[in-house]
Amino acid sequence: FPHAPLNKDSLHKTLEAIRFDKTLREIILSGGDPLILRDEILFDLIDKLASMPHVKRIRIHTRIPTVLPSRITESFINKIRGHQSEIVIVTHINHPNELDVETDNVLRRLRETGLALLNQTVLLKAVNDKTTTLVELSEKLFNQGVLPYYLHLSDKVEGTQHLCVTTDMARQLFRDMLKELPGYLVPRLVVEEPGMSSKTLIV
């Protein structure tokens, strides 16, 4: 879904475009955060997408499990558990300190519904740009039932240059992680490039 305000007209147009494009297999709900929507609105949207036979998966990108875990209510869990579509949740967790007993409980409850849990991490200078930090994050994610998915270079946005990690440093961190972790706990190193339909893998 586009990074634009949600209104009935744009939502209708987007849903119609998805309905008529039979090549679409997975739909991503992201940016802001889809879980700030009320359950009725969110699951109405998921129901509409799930009614399209060519849509096989719905992926939700969110930071809610760490920044507002109380949002994951029993009602929300029951709606996820009772849903027929294949739902994937991608958490955005950047540091092991974000994972605690409360997130463990929330992520466990989500995992018990049968959905897949993945994580995307943004590399941030002086925040998580150390091998020990990234290794600890992957281990803690796995212990809480989340598979590391993407290690993402930060987007080049004005005012955030002080947080950017260079590509060379990112490659070195990735190589060091390969030495410390089993392959399934090493996230893909990627960057988002303007105009590309998907993230670009850095090798």
Helices then strands, each counted (H, E), the chain: 7, 7
pLDDT band at 192 (very low <50, low <70, confident <90, very high): confident
State the pLDDT at residue 193: 74
Give this prediction's pTM: 0.90
The three-state secondary structure class of 175 is helix
- Give residue 144's pLDDT: 96
Find, among 34, 39, 41, the residue nearest to 62 by Cα: 34
Instruction: Using the predicted structure, report yes or no on whether residue 2 has a pLDDT greater than 50.
Output: no
